[in-house]
Amino acid sequence: MGRIFSDVVEQALQNIYYDVSTGRGKENFQRLEQASAAGDGDASCILARCLCGYQYVWDGHGFPEDGRRATALLHKSVDQGSAIGVMVSLRSGDLKPYMEKRMTFSSLSEAFEIVLEKAEMGDAFCQYTVGNSYFWWDFLRIQEKSRDSFSSDAAFKAYLKENISKCEEWFWKAFRGGMYFGGNNLNQFYLKGDEDIIPPRPEKAAGIFKLGAELGYPNHQYVYAKDLQKLGKKEEALQWFKRSAECGEKDSWYYVGVAYADGQGVPKDESYGALCFEKGLFSGNSIGCCNRLGAMYFDGRGVERNVEKGIELIQKAFDQGNRWGLVYLGRAYLFGLGVPKDYGKAKEFLEQMKGENHEKDYMLGLIYAQGLGVPEDIKKGVEYLKKAQDREDAREELAKYKKTLFGKWVRR
């Protein structure tokens, strides 16, 4: 039997929260399911958190998100006599009055004291839960207090300040004990304060994500790397991106891929860059990975050339509202690369491009000067081609046209 929870729950907390880099999250998810079915209310509670998305569990585990099942499991944990289940249900808004009547505790205060005891014994999940009860004002319901319990607004405000302030200590304990969520809430607490009761202290937020990175939290390593990147510390940022990615933070693979594909701070290695983009295809940076990997397949850089696959990836990014790959889509449809020729689509994609791009100008020049899918307009075509005169193909195309004595552009 575990020191604070059952063996199954303690092992699950270790691998799902306290040391996510083990890669054993899904294995422990299955064990929680079995323990929940066998009557372990704490297992039901932790399993419910696993189903609630990235705000409640690291998304690197790849757990399914199922709000309805999560609510049912929280209710089950309350029925199974879990104190932590009661507190988590209260925080998530799932402890309705009828559920509170069904719990095995005489009061919310009794359930809270049990969780508090486990927090004092050193469990980080409980420490985080206790911190949340103060941070989100759940203590009012736990202690059965309201404004009417106090003789004046000043007395009520003093009571609120005293209790809210307790979250800081508990979040720090949880943060250092394995719950990166404690650091997230500390950051918010310091940056925003709490209404007119706790003033913001942004100076105390400085260094939280650096500490989280040093503590080994992959998502904090990612955030810290981005901070370093903004400061121009690209080489140091890359090291943290790599550590984060190798620990399972898929969002980091895009930045590692860019560094190697472009040779930024490391020897250029397009093959490794392509591999990184492949690993990041289903991350929060999937659009960037689709574009960069798509371009590499289209051009045959770092991978064997596969124009069809390249356009498929770039089109996927475009369908999500990203315009980075417009020039590739225009080129593909203009010349029939990986897709059937379609001059109308080529023109549509190219004319959506903003800013200077000489390849765009060259291709639009071809379309108008040769009348590809549009009425021939040599003058307009030449105007585009002149913008792209640094390209040899644009100069060759320009040489096919001349201006008559009457100022009209014609073919030579």
Q: What is the mean pLDDT of residues 258-266?
A: 95
Kindly state the tokens that stand for 25. 């999250």
- In this predicted model, what pLDDT tens digit does every residue of 12-52 receive, in sequence order? 999 999 999 888 999 999 999 999 999 999 999 999 999 99
Structure token digits, residue 182: 């404690």
Coil/strand/helix, residue 108:
helix
Instruction: Enumerate long-range contacts of 169-175, CB under 8 Å, 24 or more apart.
Output: 169/131, 170/119, 170/127, 170/128, 170/130, 170/131, 170/134, 171/127, 171/128, 171/131, 171/135, 173/119, 173/124, 173/127, 173/131, 174/124, 174/125, 174/127, 174/128, 174/131, 175/208, 175/211, 175/212, 175/215
Q: What is the pLDDT of residue 405?
A: 84
Torsion angle of alpha carbons 209, 46, 115, 168, nearest 10°?
Answer: 10
At 106-131, the pLDDT tens digits run: 999 999 999 999 999 999 999 999 99
Which phi and psi (to 5°) does residue 410 adopt? -140, 170
Work out the mean pLDDT of the chain and round it to a whole number. Answer: 96
70 phi, psi to nearest 5 deg = -60, -45
Instruction: Please tell me the predicted confidence (pLDDT) of residue 1.
Output: 62
Average pLDDT over residues 320-340: 97
Q: How many helices (H) and strands (E) does the chain have?
A: 25, 2
pLDDT (average), residues 180-193? 97
Per-residue pLDDT band for 406 (boundaries 50, 70, 90) equals: confident
C-alpha distance from residue 262 to each of 240, 265, 267, 281 (Å): 18, 9, 9, 18
Give 401's strand partners: 411
Q: Could you confirm whether domain 325-412 is CATH 1.25.40.10?
A: yes
Give the pLDDT confidence score for residue 105 in this predicted structure. 97
Only one residue has tokens 């550590």, namely 243
pLDDT of the residue at 166: 98
Domain-wise residue ranges, the chain: 1-104, 325-412
Q: What is the per-residue DSSP string for 281-345?
A: TTSTTHHHHHHHHHHHHHHTSSS---HHHHHHHHHHHHHTT--TTHHHHHHHHHHTSSS---HHH
Under a CB-based contact definition with an 8 Å cutoff, are residues 295 and 325 in contact?
yes
Query: What is the DSSP secondary structure assignment for residue 60, as one 8-state letter?
Result: G
3-state SS, residue 400: coil
Tokens in use for 158? 């003093």
Are 364 and 393 contacting, i.e. CB atoms less than 8 angstroms apart? no
The whole-angstrom separation of Cα 224 and Cα 204 is: 16
> Do 124 and 185 contact (CB within 8 A), yes or no?
no
What gap in Å lies between CA 49 and CA 41, rounded to an integer? 13
- DSSP assignment, residue 77? H
Over residues 280-302, mean pLDDT:
96
Work out the pLDDT band at 407, boundaries 50, 70, 90. Answer: confident
Query: Is 62 within 8 Å of 26 (Cβ atoms)?
Result: yes
> 215: pLDDT confidence band, cut at 50, 70 and 90?
very high
Spatial separation of the C-alpha atoms in residues 226 and 237, rounded to whole Å: 7
Which pLDDT tens digit goes with each residue over 226-260?
Answer: 999 999 999 999 999 999 999 999 999 999 999 99
Across 279-291, average pLDDT: 95
